[in-house]
Structure 1
Amino acid sequence: MEWQLVIDCREPSRLVAFWAQALRYRPQPAPDGHPTWREWYLAHGVPAEELGEGDCADRLEDPTGAGPRLWFQPVPEVKSLKNRLHIDLKVGGGRGVPLAERRERVDAEVDRLVPLGAAVLGAMDDPENGHYAVQLTDPEGNEFCVV
């Protein structure tokens, strides 16, 4: 079975640009026989007025093939509630790595993501339980964590 993560959004191209860099993914090429996703959508009966401008590059894939694909599905409404599902970017190395070193790794990744369009919501710093993570949002306000 294959699966993909679908993220509802207002501006797929904006989130594709952010998450491609955040996850070190790449835009998924359009299916064979179609130079762009826009051409593929049109060939499958999606009205041009629903597609907006551009080539409709709204999908990402892991260049190694190990991770799931992501599809940024355009929807008319803005995000209004907390996510029921979120992505954890696991860069700290897990509990086998000293907490101070994990904190440095997490903070370095946060420092890389903020200029790309992420916003920091806050840190979850619980040294008694050996836990450190930072909660952020992507450019459309979807929450994710760096741990």
Structure 2
Amino acid sequence: MERFLSRSEASAAVDAQGWRFVLGTLRTAVPVGSLAEAVTVAARAVEACGPAADEHLRLDLRPRHVSLTLRPQAFGGVTARDAELAHLITEALHALGLTTTPGRPAPPPPSDTSAPLAPRAQLTPSAQSAPPAVWAPSAQSDPPAVSARFAQSDPPAVSARFAQSDPPPQLVPSPVSASPAQSVSPAVSSPPAPAPSSRDVGRDWTGRSVQEWEIAIDAMDIASIRPFWKAVLGYADEPGKHGPEDRLVDPLRQGPAVWFQQMSEPRPQRNRIHFDVSVPHDEAPGRVATALAAGGHLVSGERAPSFWVLADREDNEVCVTTWQGRDI
């Protein structure tokens, strides 16, 4: 059985590679210039993961970017194997001159806004202790130049012939023991990500950072309403969790998860369904500040940097969440 990483371990393992730990997943994005390039990126990522791709990798291809997500299909959490695959994918894409990035951060709020801003101390995550050392790949030589084949005007076919006859050694992942006793090796320095290629410069390929979101439903009797939401959404139990109050997930992994929050007393005067928007830990203060500048207000920053509770001018609430402050 694979060892699951703590939140701080998972974050530290991949941050320098342009990935972020978000809501139990490792996420990154790759800017591209066309859907054909997106297909090439996807094929190279699958090649880098090898047989582990089906179990760990999810891809979303668009004409301007490819989103990559790593997490075991069993939804148990991020493992050391996921961190290793993130490094292998990054190395493979760097060899093509492509960059893995968590996306564009939220822009700073306008200086002349009249919207109320929370005190700075509530918007800035408190200092965290240094995370423990986690797995990192051995130092690699500088990535090779961009493949001439990739730069051709006609994109290569996605098939077994896509891989070059002599692929770089780092594109073929070596087996990793899944023993529970396996320890995570001390981190070592990895090569810095290459500068964005000419395809990336000035491209408005995404308006935000990588993120994940959930829907939270407040209820007095969770067990009585959960079957309705399961049926109406066409959702399923999360693998391994079939309790009457456990959250629900989209079996196709396309929609947000739905979880249920126990109420202590009825609250008919306010909304009882809210969004949880999970963002990279280094994106959260900017996202909160931008939302406040857009007319929102801070309901509570007491649990920051784990989450901030915000609301619009009519008191409809949303939580901006991160992984921080949740490890015991």
Query: Quick check: which one's helix share is greater?
Result: 1
TM-score, normalisation: structure 2: 0.18
